[in-house]
Amino acid sequence: MDFLPIFLNIRDQPCLVVGGGEVAARKTALLLRAGGRVTVLAPALSTAFDGYLAEGKITHRAANFHGEDVADYALVIAATNDDAVNRAVADSAKARRIPVNVVDQPALCSFIMPSIIDRSPVIVAVSSGGASPVLARLLRARLESLVPAGYGRLATLVASFRNHVKARFQPVERRRFWERVLQGPIAELVFSGRDSDARAALQATLDDTRLTLDSGEVYLVGGGPGDPDLLTFRALRLMQQADVVVYDRLVSPAVLNLVRLEAERIYAGKERAKHALPQEDINHLLVRLAKQGKRVVRLKGGDPFIFGRGGEEIATLAAEGIPFQVVPGITAAAGCASYAGIPLTHRDYSQSVVFVTGHLQDGSMNLNWQALAQPRQTVVFYMGLHGVDILCQQLIAHGLPASTPAALIQQGTTPQQRVLTGDLTTLADIVNKGNVKAPTLIIVGEVVRLRDKLKWFEPVP
Ligand code: SAH
């Protein structure tokens, strides 16, 4: 981090703007909005200042800048078109440890000004640290459309209830209460302009003595194959609300990083042959945590209902009467196929796709090989790495041409993604020679040939 983001209280503080042009006027406007007492120092002012002068909002000192002019100001902005003057302003402010900004010259600044979204009292500030103001502005524009216009009014409403709520709830419950209010129907009332209805509803919620906020909940969340951009909005929102997260080895660090910082993290393992926690224990852990009133995110790689044993975990929750939600994720097959440029179906090559587990049980793979070895079908093997020789042999034995192309995708969708291709006769060898490691997905079918034309994602090693 090159800059510390802070919000400065300049209400009634003396601020100095050096320069009388349009840029100086824009900065003046901003300082006035934040309640600063602004003096503009410049031999002459452009017409952009006429309104402020007429309304007596600023003090004009008609003079050239001298070093000692900055003394006694809480904040200084240099906005002249003369580099030497701007530099002199910066130097003399810095010598007195007065925060100074020189417009468009980050190197001379002790603070820089972000692009802002103003929903006062809510303010969102975006900065590229001077690297690309255009980028920051584009981002600001996107955020602008995400933050409802009523956010400021919502914040004001909430502020007026803060003390009530503080008196009624302990910290953990309080946070939960506010999250309900801010994400639920009450917030929607504000956004649709019905502020007094919202106020009444909030009061009623607070008066309801039966209100219980202490029941925990479990969210079974699909974390996708690795790239955090592939999370759903719902997954992200619930991850941001978690008190505790129970995660698998498959969950990428980049995804785990998006869980609320304060949430407790529990590793539940699931490495082949050395499960850190037996499934039974995970099921009961989830129940226990929820019964403590926690919001538990059970975070899984890919989709929880595709080779994720999600069904077993929620069966235990359901039996115990614990509320839960299931949030789908992008499964490895979908993620890896896209990022490897291998369409899973294609009008010319494949009309169906089968997801199958290649997990070995007692050294063998008990699958319906006849059904898998069909022409014009794509077969995706999850957990197939250790049985790769068996699955290739069986597919050939059941009628697939030995020349059927196949791909190995290791750590798909992540910066470590590797894709190796061959056919049913070479795949096992490629695994051994290429030092291929889990998690790896195997795709078998004619569609693999399309990769040469369609590949687009090639992470830099
Ligand atoms: N529920 C998960 C699958 C869990 S089974 C999902 O929907 O994706 C674990 C297997 O998934 C691994 O052995 C591997 O075959 C596959 N897998 C998961 N993530 C992967 C990734 N990023 N790259 C390649 N294979 C992956």
Q: What is the pLDDT along the chain (461 residues), one digit of tens a residue?
A: 889 999 999 999 999 999 999 999 999 999 999 999 999 999 999 999 999 999 999 999 999 999 999 999 999 999 999 999 999 999 999 999 999 999 999 899 999 999 999 999 999 999 998 888 889 889 988 888 778 788 999 999 999 999 999 998 888 889 888 987 887 678 878 887 889 999 998 998 888 766 555 567 899 999 999 999 999 877 987 898 889 999 999 999 999 999 999 999 999 975 555 556 788 899 999 999 999 988 899 999 999 999 999 999 999 999 998 878 899 999 999 999 999 999 999 999 999 999 999 998 888 899 999 999 999 999 999 999 999 999 999 999 999 999 999 999 999 999 999 999 999 999 999 999 999 999 999 999 999 999 999 999 988 76
pLDDT score of 270: 56
Distance CA 239, CA 125 (A): 23
pTM of the model as a whole: 0.67
308 CA from centroid of ligand 1 (Å): 9
pLDDT score of 121: 93
Q: Which residues are catalytic?
A: 248, 270
H/E run at residue 440? strand 440-444
Distance CA 430, CA 394 (A): 18
CA angle 64, 66, 69 (to 5 degrees): 105
**Residue 252: both structure tokens together:** 């990428």
- Choice from 270, 305, 307 to test ligand 1 binding pocket (greatest atom count within 8 A of CB): 307
Residue 313 near ligand 1, beta carbon < 6 Å: no
Residue 336 near ligand 1, beta carbon < 6 Å: yes
H/E run at residue 38? strand 37-41
C-alpha closest to that of 143 among 122, 158, 172, 174: 122
Distance CA 216, CA 208 (A): 19
pLDDT score of 460: 78
pLDDT score of 271: 53
**Residue 170: both structure tokens together:** 């302990």
Query: Would you call the peptide bond into 121 cis, given omega within 30 degrees of 0 as the criterion?
Result: yes
Distance CA 256, CA 263 (A): 11
Q: Is 439 helix (H, G, I), strand (E, B) or coil?
A: coil
pLDDT score of 206: 86
Distance CA 378, CA 30 (A): 60
Q: Name every residue whose Cβ is closer than 8 Å to that of residue 26 and which is 6 or more positions away in sequence.
A: none
Distance CA 114, CA 128 (A): 8
372 CA from centroid of ligand 1 (Å): 19
**Residue 263: both structure tokens together:** 């949430």
